[in-house]
C-alpha cells in the first residue's frame, strides 16, 4: 500500500527539529517522501487539512498483563500494591484473560497515538500476549516476567524454578524474536531484585549478552524496596545490578527515583536506559525521580505509563504533561521545557530500544510509525501563534488523536480501532476479569 497524507503540519523531530507544511508518502512500511506538495501515485490519499502529523509515540515501560486490573489496586504504596492485589491477580491469569488484557491495553495505546512499547508480562502464558501484539499490529519489545525468589510474599501461583524461568524466557526469545516484520522483539524481564535470586540475575546477564538482547526490569522505585535490597544484598539497587553485569545500553530500568550519587554515576557512565513513569510515581506516592539532573548529565531517558492499576491510564500525553509539570515546583518553571519532553516520548524512546535509526522521527527511510493529531478542539484553540510542542505537551489529549499507523498499517482511524473487535473484547474481558478475580480471591 502507498498512502499519501496531504496538507499536514509535520513535526519531524529530525536533527534540525523542522516543522514542515506539506505532504508525506508511505510505501509499504517506510516513509519514502515528505515535504511540500507530493505528486505521486498512491493507493489511498488522506487529506489532513492542516492537522499535525507526529512520530508515533514510544512508551518504554508498560504492563499489558495488568490492563485487565485497572481500578483494582488504588490508593496503595508499591509493596502493598504488589502483595495484596497485583501479584494475586497476575497469578490468576489464564491464557484467554492474558490475551484480553493485552488487547485492552493495545487498543488504548493506539487510540492515544502510541505505536511502540517496552512491555513486561507476567510469569505464565506470555505467548498469548505476544499473539495479541502480533495480531493487533503493535510494535513491542516484550518479555516474560521472571520471579524465582520464592519468599513468603510471592503467591504460589507466581513462583517458579530458576532454571525453568530462564529456559522459558530463552524459548520465547527463540520462537518470537523478530516476528511480525520485526515488530515484536523479545527481552529478558526479571521483575526486580527482591523477587529474583542472584543466580537468575547473573544468568540473565550472561544469556542476554550472548544473544545481544535487551533486559528490562524495575529499580529504585520505592524506599521500602531499597531497604530490602540493602538487607539481602548488602548494597543499593544500581550498585548490585552493576555488580551482576546487567548495567549498560541494553538495560532498560523503570523508575530510578531514589538514587545516591554513586548510582547516578553508574547509570550515566554505563548509558543504562531510564524509563521515567511520572503518573505511576505520583499515584503510588513513590517519589519524584531526579530526571532534570540526570538529563543534564547526559543520561538516556524516555517515558512510560507503567501498568493500568497504578496509573490508571496508558496515555502518553498525560505522561508528557506530568513529566514536565511535576519537576517545576522543585526546579523552576523553565525546567523540562515542552520540546525536551516531547523528545523523550519519541526519539528518547527510540534510543532506549536501539531503534533511533528507524523510529522516533519522521524522515525518509524511517519506519512509517506515526499519528495524526487534531487541534480543532476548544482546549487547543486558538491554534495559531502557539508553539507546537507546547500544544502537544500541555494542551493535547489522547482523544485528539485521529489516526495511528504502525509499520505502514493504519490501526486506528477516526477513533475506530481497525485491528481489534472492541464490542467482542469488552464482553470477553469482563468474563476474564470475573474468572481471574474468583481464582485470585481478592
Cα(167)–Cα(24) distance, integer angstroms: 45
Tell me the pairing of strands 273-276 and 300-303: parallel
pLDDT at position 173, please? 98
Contacts for 62 with CB less than 8 Å, ≥ 6 apart: 105, 109, 117, 118, 119, 120, 304, 305, 306, 307, 314
The predicted model gives 235-241 an average pLDDT of 97
Confidence of residue 214 (pLDDT cuts 50, 70, 90): very high
pLDDT value at position 7?
97
3-state DSSP call for residue 308?
helix
DSSP strand pairing (416-417 vs 409-413): antiparallel
Question: Percent of the chain having pLDDT more than 90?
Answer: 93
Return d(Cα 272, Cα 284) in angstroms, integer.
24
Asked if residue 200 lies in contact with residue 166, where contact means CB atoms within 8 angstroms, the answer is yes
Tell me the C-alpha distance between 141 and 131, whole Å: 13
- Rounded mean pLDDT, 306-332: 97
Residue 380, strand partner residues: none
Q: Report which of 186, 38, 158 is spatially closest to residue 89, judged by C-alpha positions.
A: 158
pLDDT above 80: residue 152: no
pLDDT digits (tens, 9 = 90+) for 153-182: 888 888 899 999 999 999 999 999 999 999
41 grid coordinates: 501515485
pLDDT at 151: 76
105 pLDDT tier (thresholds 50, 70, 90) = very high
> What's the pLDDT at 156?
85
Amino acid at each position: 500500500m502507498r498512502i499519501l497524507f496531504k496538507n499536514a503540519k509535520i513535526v519531524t523531530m529530525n536533527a534540525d527539529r523542522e516543522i514542515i507544511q506539506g505532504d508525506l508518502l508511505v510505501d509499504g512500511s517506510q516513509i519514502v517522501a515528505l515535504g511540500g506538495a507530493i505528486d505521486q501515485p498512491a493507493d489511498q490519499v488522506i487529506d489532513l487539512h492542516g492537522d499535525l502529523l507526529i512520530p508515533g509515540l514510544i512508551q518504554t515501560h508498560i504492563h499489558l498483563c495488568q490492563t485487565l486490573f485497572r481500578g483494582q489496586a488504588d490508593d496503595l504504596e508499591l509493596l502493598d500494591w504488589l502483595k495484596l492485589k497485583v501479584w494475586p491477580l497476575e497469578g490468576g491469569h489464564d491464557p484467554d484473560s492474558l490475551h484480553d488484557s493485552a488487547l485492552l491495553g493495545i487498543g488504548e495505546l493506539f487510540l492515544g497515538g502510541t505505536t511502540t512499547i517496552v512491555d513486561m508480562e507476567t510469569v505464565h502464558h506470555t505467548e498469548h500476549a505476544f499473539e495479541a501484539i502480533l495480531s493487533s499490529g503493535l510494535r513491542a519489545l516484550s518479555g516474560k516476567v521472571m520471579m524465582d525468589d520464592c519468599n513468603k510474599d510471592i503467591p504460589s501461583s507466581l513462583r517458579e524454578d530458576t532454571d525453568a524461568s530462564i529456559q522459558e524466557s530463552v524459548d520465547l526469545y527463540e520462537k518470537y524474536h523478530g516476528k511480525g516484520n520485526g515488530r515484536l522483539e523479545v527481552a529478558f524481564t526479571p521483575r526486580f531484585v527482591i523477587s529474583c535470586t542472584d543466580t537468575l540475575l547473573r544468568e540473565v546477564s550472561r544469556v542476554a549478552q550472548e544473544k545481544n538482547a535487551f533486559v528490562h526490569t524495575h529499580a529504585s522505585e520505592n524506599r521500602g524496596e531499597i531497604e530490602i535490597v540493602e538487607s539481602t544484598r548488602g548494597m543499593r539497587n544500581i550498585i548490585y545490578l552493576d555488580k551482576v553485569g546487567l548495567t549498560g545500553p541494553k538495560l532498560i530500568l523503570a523508575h530510578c527515583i531514589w538514587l545516591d550519587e554513586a548510582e547516578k554515576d553508574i547509570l550515566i557512565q554505563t548509558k543504562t536506559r531510564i524509563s521515567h513513569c511520572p503518573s505511576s510515581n505520583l499515584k503510588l506516592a513513590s517519589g519524584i525521580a531526579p530526571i532534570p539532573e540526570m538529563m543534564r548529565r547526559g543520561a538516556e531517558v524516555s517515558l512510560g505509563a507503567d501498568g493500568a492499576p497504578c496509573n490508571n491510564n496508558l496515555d502518553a500525553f498525560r505522561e508528557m504533561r506530568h513529566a514536565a509539570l511535576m519537576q517545576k515546583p522543585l526546579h523552576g518553571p523553565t525546567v523540562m521545557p515542552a520540546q525536551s519532553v516531547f523528545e523523550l516520548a519519541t526519539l528518547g524512546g527510540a534510543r532506549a530500544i536501539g531503534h533511533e535509526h528507524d523510529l522516533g522521527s519522521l524522515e525518509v527511510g524511517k519506519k512509517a510509525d506515526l499519528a495524526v493529531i487534531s487541534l480543532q478542539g476548544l482546549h487547543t484553540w486558538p491554534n495559531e501563534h502557539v508553539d507546537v510542542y507546547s500544544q502537544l505537551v500541555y494542551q493535547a489529549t489522547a482523544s485528539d488523536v485521529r489516526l495511528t499507523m504502525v509499520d505502514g498499517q493504519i490501526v486506528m482511524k477516526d477513533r475506530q480501532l481497525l485491528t481489534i473487535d472492541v464490542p467482542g473484547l469488552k464482553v470477553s474481558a469482563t468474563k476474564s476479569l470475573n474468572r481471574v478475580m474468583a481464582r485470585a480471591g481478592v
